[in-house]
């Protein structure tokens, strides 16, 4: 089993149950043209996030890490007309490309892209009373995962779901002495979530065109 097979299986799933979306294909092409790294969610993972948003009956969604807007578009497709998704992005040029793709997808009235370091924009959102968010997707610099999780929890309600992407690090999540700040961010996240009485959580390993990866999912089940 290797990347070629995982990609072929992913393509099969995309061509059957996931389905294609012209606006998402265009967003992916624009992201590539703009020189963004190929680190957006694969389509079947994007659809998974969309289903989660639907199951949540989500009206407010928080995302940390916009890139070209792919995961934001996937999730916002689950929102009702009055629903809102706020996505936080550090890179202004990426945010511009994402906004164009979001507008082309017909979601400009539902998605707000905020530029800045998320450690600065998250407290602003909290002060504004932007929550509670029914779903949060944390997918930016993994070093800051613990702080992002704390902010997501701060702006959650009982019943909210928080997903943290890319927690496997090619298996290096096992390396307690790693000098990779992203690995340490993911490890601190797991230690913190394990000790957090307000959530029930699990982490899943995945394989697809992005190779070996995974995500953590937490359900907020006590008054946050
Ligand atoms: C993995 S990509 C996001 C992919 C996107 N969620 C998707 O799946 O389509 C991570 C993004 O986080 C952004 N980022 C990195 N550090 C950040 C920070 N401190 N605050 C906000 N965004 C940050 C990067 O510029 C990049 O666009
Ligand atoms: Mg990711």
In 3D, which of 107, 20, 3 has the Cα closest to residue 61? 107
The DSSP bridge pattern shows strands 135-138 and 161-165 to be parallel
| Terminal Cα distance for the chain, rounded | 42
| pLDDT over 70 at 16, yes or no | yes
CB-based contacts of 22, cutoff 8 Å, min separation 6: none
- pLDDT band of residue 7 (cuts 50, 70, 90) is very high
pLDDT digit string, tens, across residues 138-196: 999 999 999 999 999 999 999 999 999 999 999 999 999 999 999 999 999 999 999 99
Question: The domain containing residue 26 runs over which residues?
Answer: 3-220
CB-based contacts of 84, cutoff 8 Å, min separation 6: 59, 60, 61, 110, 111, 112
Helix (H, G, I), strand (E, B) or coil at 212: strand
Helix (H, G, I), strand (E, B) or coil at 85: strand
Q: How many helices (H) and strands (E) does the chain have?
A: 8, 7
Measure the CA–CA gap between 149 and 139, rounded to whole angstroms.
11
90 lines ligand 1 (CB under 6 A): yes
| pLDDT over 90 at 223, yes or no | no
The dihedrals phi and psi of 202, each to the nearest 5 degrees, come to -145, 165
ipTM, interface predicted TM-score of the complex: 0.99
What CATH number does residue 170 fall under? 3.40.50.150
Q: What is the value of pTM for the model shown?
A: 0.98
Measure the CA–CA gap between 160 and 102, rounded to whole angstroms.
25
Q: Which letter does DSSP use for residue 17 in this model?
A: I
| Number of structural domains found in the chain | 1
pLDDT for 210: 83
39 lines ligand 1 (CB under 6 A): yes
Proportion of the chain above pLDDT 90, given as a percent: 95
| pLDDT over 90 at 66, yes or no | yes
CB-based contacts of 166, cutoff 8 Å, min separation 6: 139, 142, 186, 213, 214, 215
CB-based contact 106:139 (threshold 8 Å): no
The sheet that has 135-138: what strands, in order across it?
111-115, 84-89, 60-64, 135-138, 161-165, 211-220, 199-208
Could you list which residues have their CB under 5 Å from ion ligand 2?
139, 165-166
148 lines ligand 1 (CB under 6 A): no
**Mean pLDDT of all residues belonging to the chain:** 96
213 lines ligand 1 (CB under 6 A): no
Residue 165 C-alpha to ligand 2 middle, in angstroms?
5
CB-based contact 27:103 (threshold 8 Å): no
pLDDT for 208: 86
pLDDT for 224: 63
Q: Looking at 65-110, which runs of residues are DSSP E strands?
A: 84-89
Residue 89 C-alpha to ligand 1 middle, in angstroms?
6
């Amino acid at each position: 089993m290797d990347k070629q097979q995982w990609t072929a299986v992913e393509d099969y799933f995309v061509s059957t149950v996931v389905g294609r979306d012209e606006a998402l294909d265009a967003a992916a092409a624009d992201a590539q043209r703009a020189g963004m790294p190929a680190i957006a969610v694969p389509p079947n993972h994007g659809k998974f996030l969309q289903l989660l948003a639907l199951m949540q009956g989500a009206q407010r969604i928080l995302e940390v890490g916009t890139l070209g807007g792919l995961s934001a578009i996937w999730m916002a497709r689950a929102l009702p007309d009055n629903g809102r998704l706020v996505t936080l992005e550090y890179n202004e040029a990426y945010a511009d490309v994402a906004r164009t793709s979001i507008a082309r997808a017909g979601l400009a009235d539902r998605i707000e892209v905020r530029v800045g370091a998320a450690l600065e924009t998250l407290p602003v959102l909290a002060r504004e009373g932007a929550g509670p968010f029914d779903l949060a997707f944390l997918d930016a610099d993994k070093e800051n995962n613990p702080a992002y999780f704390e902010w997501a929890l701060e702006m959650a309600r009982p019943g909210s779901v928080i997903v943290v992407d890319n927690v496997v690090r090619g298996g290096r999540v096992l390396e307690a002495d790693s000098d990779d700040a992203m690995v340490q961010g993911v490890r601190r996240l797991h230690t913190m979530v394990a000790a957090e009485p307000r959530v029930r959580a699990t982490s899943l390993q995945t394989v697809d065109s992005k190779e070996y990866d995974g995500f953590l999912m937490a359900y907020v089940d006590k008054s946050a």
